[in-house]
Amino acid sequence: MKIANRMSRLGTETAFEVMAQAKALERQGKDIIYLQIGEPDFATPTHIVDGAIKALRDGHTHYSAPSGILPLKEAIADEVYSRRGVRPDVEQIVVTPGAKPIIFFVILACIESGDEVIYPNPGFPIYESMINFVGGRAVPLPLREENEFSFDQDEFMSLLSERTRMIIINSPHNPTGGVLSDDDVDFVSKVAKEKNILVLTDEVYKNIIYGAEHKSIYSVEGMNDLTVLLDGFSKTYAMTGWRLGYGVMPKQLSRKIERLMTNCNSCTATFSQYAAIEALKGPTKEVDEMVEIFKTRRDFIVDGLNNLPGVSCVNPKGAFYVFPNVKELGISSNELENYLLHESGVAVLSGSAFGSHGDGYLRLSYANSIENIDRALSRIHKALERI
């Protein structure tokens, strides 16, 4: 069979591959602790589930408009206004099955062969994968531990060129848990405005933040026309399996993304969209509690990791990941990922799964109980002593 050449440029998310390997080991009888996956281990709040059941009973089981139902888009506009202080027009909003398709569609719609895109590295692997897929040039913006996993502004400037078409930022950040400072956000917006570059701001972890403020570039004056704001329901409301996300963007672009939706998904599941309104309008108690629990776990895991020989871990301000430095162990992070899975039954990800600048780190998700995190840490401790 002839497969199109472009498919060789498409990357992946190894989280799904490690998950498959871990499940295979589990089927062979091995006890696995899952610290590799990027999804909250909480149930979707009840009022959201009830909203979906009601929508099903009310017969919302047919196609919707490709860009989403109006009441959800109105609820999103309200949410964007309350969180970012700017109210988008509903025509700027496209609802998609998960936030991921916004990355896929926007890069597909905006990047031509040879266009350059600056993207965070380490970073969510789909950015680099999609830039390469469409024939763009992926320009990594290194996020270093010494800068609390933010970027160096001089280095940023050195990456700009005549061909820079897009800048991708993600805060709170996967995989490091870093949060961009106000100054960094202002810096990116200044560059984007001066050079007329589109910014894709991935804010799916905006609600999962500890003691820091989330500043959105969308709220910076003059950025409405230059920003694609990407957000979703997977992380904040523990709704990964519902597949619900959205993008807010200039109308010229939203019309194109809507056309991609028509060609690809037709629409996001209609009853899910009704449930999403409940998520945005309903009580926040369960989400607030989830974030509190994440914070306790973060403190616990950071402490535990810093007590491991040869491991050091900065305290992340957001998301539910830690990104410990394992360079002192003298084993590559890929080998370590493999070793920990097979030797101790702990599934983690190598930092290199998030780009070349992630080498020498591991990503652990603390979307798991304190008991399991504790068990995982002692297993890792034992395994490291045997290296």
Ligand X SMILES: Cc1ncc(COP(=O)(O)O)c(C=O)c1O
In the complex, which residues of this chain contact ligand X (CB under 6 A)?
38, 98-100, 124, 170, 174, 202, 204, 232, 234, 240, 245
DSSP state of 3: P
Least separation in angstroms between residue 151's CB and ligand X is 16
Least separation in angstroms between residue 361's CB and ligand X is 16
Adjacency order of strands within the sheet including 116-121: 93-96, 245-248, 227-232, 198-202, 164-170, 116-121, 137-142
HSE-CB at 287 with a 13 A cutoff on CA atoms is 21
Nearer to ligand X (CB atom), residue 234 or residue 344 = 234
Which of 102, 290, 301 lies closest to 207, judged by CA?
A: 290
Nearer to ligand X (CB atom), residue 344 or residue 365 = 365
Q: Which tokens sit at 347?
A: 């599934």
Bridge partners for 245 per DSSP? 96, 232
Nearer to ligand X (CB atom), residue 68 or residue 304 = 68
Nearer to ligand X (CB atom), residue 98 or residue 360 = 98
Residues 6+ apart with CB under 8 A from 11: 125, 126, 128, 129, 132, 133
Least separation in angstroms between residue 202's CB and ligand X is 5
Least separation in angstroms between residue 94's CB and ligand X is 13
Residue with tokens 């919302």: 60
Least separation in angstroms between residue 124's CB and ligand X is 4
Nearer to ligand X (CB atom), residue 122 or residue 232 = 232
* Number of Cβ within a 10 Å radius of residue 352: 20
Query: What is the greatest pairwise CA distance in the chain?
Result: 60
Residues 6+ apart with CB under 8 A from 195: 160, 164
Nearer to ligand X (CB atom), residue 60 or residue 100 = 100
Least separation in angstroms between residue 365's CB and ligand X is 10
Q: Which residue is nearest to ligand X (CB)?
A: 98
Q: What are phi and psi of 97, to 5 degrees?
A: -75, 85
253, 102 contact by CB (below 8 A):
no
DSSP state of 184: H
Nearer to ligand X (CB atom), residue 51 or residue 101 = 101
Residue with tokens 């990594």: 140
Least separation in angstroms between residue 71's CB and ligand X is 20
Least separation in angstroms between residue 319's CB and ligand X is 8
CA distance 3 to 273: 35
Distance from the Cα of residue 319 to its chain's centroid: 9
Angle at 288 between CA 284 and CA 289, to 5 degrees: 120
- DSSP conformation letters of 37-88: --S-SSPPPHHHHHHHHHHHHTT--S---TT--HHHHHHHHHHHHHHHS---
Least separation in angstroms between residue 273's CB and ligand X is 14
Nearer to ligand X (CB atom), residue 339 or residue 354 = 354
Nearer to ligand X (CB atom), residue 254 or residue 272 = 272
Least separation in angstroms between residue 343's CB and ligand X is 27
Nearer to ligand X (CB atom), residue 100 or residue 297 = 100
308, 380 contact by CB (below 8 A):
yes
